[in-house]
Structure 1
């Protein structure tokens, strides 16, 4: 829809993508003009603009990430598809895929509705306020250069400009976020598929009536290690593509929360009432995937420990030890390699938000 499809094919420049990048660039130029010129010496005005400009940083982080890894992202999507294609002949995997797909659909609908509801309320809240008491306020703190927002025409031009940004920004942000959800759930699927194969291995190890048991166990172990290696490569590819983007988003959401709280403390800003829960939910959603992967990796290690490996042939024991060693050192997601993405990061960021806000209070 926006011409920025970097997932099904290599991202290229086309009229739609150039238009979107031009509009995104114009938004950043206008925002920085407001910070450096229009609100020079006005801390409240700067905070008002910077609380909005964080959306621009998040959007540009995703655009630059898609462009920088334009050869890697389609491969990542193909690896996710292969997870589904590899399970078409196994009823257990089909049931597992069906369950995760249902979860994904519900999660996407819920997240999209929450995000779009927040955008719609932030957009039309000023209209409702104007109809209620005649007060004119703008949805966000970005003002067109050389246009007086206090005049009738200036207010209308600024409002139309901000509405035009709202028309294309939320669809782009929600679409890219939903694809990220799909990748994370794909990791969970691969972990659960490994659990199924480990259960088969355990049954195979404990059988006493099977001729050529050692060869069958060895083949199963090799198959599991191949799947485990594929999972590691998938997680590492996601880490490569998204780690810097995650850093930009965590930093942007942190400052957005702080600045929105600071603005709301000084004046009623209706969109800010929706921005605070929206940013908190966005930050929470950003940190949950890392926690899910850690839980899945821990469960996999526990399952491997529970297999009767002492009954294996000596050669198979060496293969099993390789499987166990890899499970004890799983790949994970980080924030530009500086911090693991998990609930500890979420709690740490929320504490930082409170600390920075209190520091601004005392200035």
Structure 2
């Protein structure tokens, strides 16, 4: 663990005394590599700011146009279940990416204040050796996750682009993850590069924009641990009352941070949840075979002998059983199951709130 900490400290080092949170700076830097102009969340020179502004001014409009072309392809192929499902999976993911980006820009000043508050808390509240060790341990975990996730996405999306360039006739604009309607006036090589690079940039941008929220939540959880450890040194303080007041203020700041994060990210999280559900539902729907029995009945079965008709009947009976994916074999991945889960979850929450209210 100590060796891993030394290695991660070489990448955007974390410093308690300066209030420097290296994991947030690392994630912001990775996001900037994908063209997101996240200024002011980490130290930057004027040259870096200009370079980022130029890159984002070129990359973001191209990525936006690519998602529009995906949506256009979805409209053109709405009557084809197979094509629509392939497109829907990618389009929902990419639309979700843009929704999160726009949400980040809309609340950007609030996000900057949250980063400033977290730095201030780190500088002023992480004091004892145990608290510092907790902070650095979390920083190692956050950095490793950021780098691993980002590297994995870079590798897989780059490999997809290699396959696109090798066999463009089978992939370009036709199959997942390149289900998109490209302008015909563009030369083929330009289309291939545009598709491949767009998928790489969007795929790499998604984990960085998601990690912003996750890192904030991890930091709050870390500070709750720090706050819990503050009671271990309570007896050593000269004035325990003053120390207790500082603990209450510390806790109040964390509550306020949670409320601000909830305000900023509640809609993106909801969109992510609903879109993931739709992706699963569409994938399961594509695998259903209920239309097989209709197609079988529509053939010229009356022109064949009795053995053919009996075999056809057996097939139609089997075809009426849909292919259903399950969650651990306990329930089917259907909209009905999802609605039941929501209903039962709300009932459990209501009972717990009622019991908690009576106890207090």
Verify same fold: TM over 0.5. yes
Alignment partners' CA distance in 1, 2:330 and 2:154? 27
Runs of 5+ in structure 1 lacking a partner?
205-212, 267-346
**Aligned 8 A contact 2:157 2:200 in 1:** no
Matches within 5 A, 1:239-254: 239-254=262-277
Deviation readout 1:286-316 (Å, 9 max, x if unpaired): xxxxxxxxxxxxxxxxxxxxxxxxxxxxxxx
Alignment partners' CA distance in 1, 2:64 and 2:193? 18
* 2:201 alignment counterpart: 168
* 2:180 alignment counterpart: 143
Select 1:46's aligned residue among 80, 84, 89: 84
Is the aligned partner of 1:221 residue 2:238? no
Alignment partners' CA distance in 1, 2:66 and 2:117? 35
Count of aligned pairs: 258
1:193, distance to aligned residue in structure 2 (A): 1.0
**Aligned 8 A contact 1:6 1:66 in 2:** no
Mean CA deviation greater in 98-107 or 170-179: 170-179
**Aligned 8 A contact 1:187 1:231 in 2:** yes
| TM-score when normalising by structure 2 | 0.61
* 2:227 alignment counterpart: 194
**Aligned 8 A contact 1:119 1:166 in 2:** yes
1:27, distance to aligned residue in structure 2 (A): 2.1
Select 1:233's aligned residue among 248, 252, 256: 256
* 1:343 alignment counterpart: none
**Aligned 8 A contact 1:47 1:259 in 2:** yes
- State the secondary structure of the residue aligned to 1:71: helix
Select 1:25's aligned residue among 60, 64, 86: 64
**Aligned 8 A contact 2:101 2:209 in 1:** no
Alignment partners' CA distance in 2, 1:254 and 1:264? 16
Select 1:59's aligned residue among 97, 113, 120: 97
Alignment partners' CA distance in 1, 2:144 and 2:54? 33
User: What CA RMSD, in Å, does the superposition of the two structures yield over aligned residues?
Assistant: 3.8
Is the aligned partner of 1:74 residue 2:108? no
1:188, distance to aligned residue in structure 2 (A): 1.5
Alignment partners' CA distance in 2, 1:123 and 1:253? 24
Instruction: Determine which structure has more spread, i.e. the larger CA radius of gyration.
Output: 2
